[in-house]
Chain A
Amino acid sequence: MNKYKTELMVGIFVVLTVAALLLLALKVANQTMSNEGESYTLYAKFDNIGSLKTRSAVKLGGVTIGRVESINLDKDDFTPVVELSILEKYTGFPETSSVSILTSGLLGEQYVGFQPGFSFDGVAELKDGDYLQDTKSALVLEDLIGQFLFNRGGDEN
């Protein structure tokens, strides 16, 4: 085995590794997501966020317009505050817009659904750092069953 051939094979080995790393970075872990463009931040307070996670999608009519940046608890009234980072190219939503926590499919991941509100005179646009006032919490199955049983009990009496 001469020296040149050894070095050539090690070089091929290194190139293969770099290719594998690129595949894992770009195609599997999707590191390019942050390069999608500038984004701005909106906040929303929910009563219950269900199993929403950071990096969950924010969707408007099925189009992903942003991601959940972080989830914290408000120290004053103990309600979850979700920080949404919305892409800069989707801008100009009226202040009356609402967000709700929805589930994709029967067992799927939870995401934030964004409904733009009506804009008329006197309604400002949402800006960086604004709070969304109109929020609908995640559906919790146990609450739903509890409500159903409670209503059934009420009917019989």
Chain B
Amino acid sequence: MNSIAAIGASTLSRLAAVGRAGLMLFGALLAVPRLKNVPLTVKQLYVVGVQSLLIIMVSGLFIGMVMALQGYTILIDYGAEASLGPMVALSLLRELGPVVTALLFAGRAGSALTAEIGLMKATEQLSSLEMMAVDPLRRIVAPRFWAGMIAMPMLALIFSAIGILGGHMVGVDWLGVDAGSYWSVMQSTVEWDKDVVNGIIKSLVFALVVTWIAIFKGYDSVPTSEGISKATTQTVVFSSLAVLGLDFVLTALMFGIE
């Protein structure tokens, strides 16, 4: 009897957590936006965006280079090395750009957000803000959320662009694919609204999921050192799984049916 009650209790606590996450998000978003919060958002844009820039650019460069190298060795067998450009561009724009950016973002910026907000909670900074009649949702949560939503699509675009240039470096400059065909076949294959815009939509969805999970895990963490470490781990694990799962659903919706 007790074990069945335990199942019920854990289900209820999970549902309650989902409810709290929703309330937190709506509380942060529906709070009347104030002009003086814009500098706070810019500051967070620096923390989550600019500081993730290096890892995003280096990963993008190397992923583009590796794809060009692997693609070339396979395509050259069929004399189809002219298709290297669209191969690199399409896989970056449609899949790797949004997905790898979201995974790196979860590890680089998401975990930091969780730890920061969790520590704020543990040291009772959030309660102090409330004591001073400052809404922590508006002051702490909302700027971080908007910064994540703005930064991730920007990072994904930079990732794709650098990856395509990296593919150009390996494919054209080192392996000798014709530069004209690299770009022209890419141009005739890649479509602006179908490939580029869908990639941006994907990364907006991932931004929502990753930032939301990261902030909520910190906001809802047990205010002890163990609780914060657990929350940080859960942020990375949950948001990676959510990104990979959602990516399949989004791909099926966007590209699955002709």
Contact between chains at A29 and B53 (CB < 8 Å) = no
Q: Is the CB of B158 within 8 A of A25?
A: no
- Asked if B53 and A16 sit within 8 Å, CB to CB, the answer is yes
Contact A107 B80 (CB under 8 A): yes
Q: Separation in Å of the A47 CB from the closest CB of chain B?
A: 23
Considering only residues 16-30 of chain A, those with a C-beta below 8 Å from chain B are 16-17, 19-21, 23-25, 27-30
Residue of B nearest to A67 (CB): B188
Inside 8 A of B149's CB, which chain A residues have their CB? none
> What's the interface size class on A, roughly?
20 to 34
Q: Give CA–CA (A16, B186) in the complex, Å.
A: 22
Output the nearest chain A residue to B45 by Cβ-Cβ distance. Answer: A10
The 8 Å CB contact of B161, one of A23, A57, A107, is A23
B49 beta carbon closer than 8 Å to chain A: yes
Q: B42 is contacted by which of A1, A10, A25, A55 (Cβ under 8 Å)?
A: A10
- Main secondary structure, interface of A, reads helix
Contacts of A57 in B (CB 8 A): 188
B157 and A17: CB pair below 8 A?
A: yes
Q: Which residues of A contact B248 (CB under 8 A)?
A: none
Contact A20 B42 (CB under 8 A): no
Which residues from chain B contact A38 at a C-beta distance below 8 Å? none
Q: Using A13-B154, A107-B80 as known contacts, say yes or no to A31 and B192 having CB atoms under 8 A apart.
A: yes
The verdict on A142 contacting chain B, using a C-beta distance below 8 Å, is: no
State whether the Cβ of B63 lies closer than 8 Å to any Cβ in chain A. no
Given A23-B164, A24-B196, A30-B187; A6-B43 close (CB under 8 Å)? yes
Q: Which residues of B are interface residues toward A (Cβ below 8 A)?
A: 39, 42-43, 45-46, 49-50, 53, 78-80, 89, 93, 151, 154, 157-158, 160-162, 164-165, 183, 186-188, 190-192, 195-196
Q: Which 3 A-B pairs have the closest CB atoms?
A: A20-B161, A30-B187, A17-B154
25 contacts between A and B (CB under 8 A): A1-B46, A7-B42, A9-B46, A10-B45, A10-B50, A13-B49, A13-B53, A16-B53, A16-B154, A17-B154, A20-B158, A20-B160, A20-B162, A23-B161, A23-B164, A27-B183, A27-B187, A28-B187, A29-B187, A29-B191, A29-B196, A30-B188, A33-B187, A106-B79, A109-B188
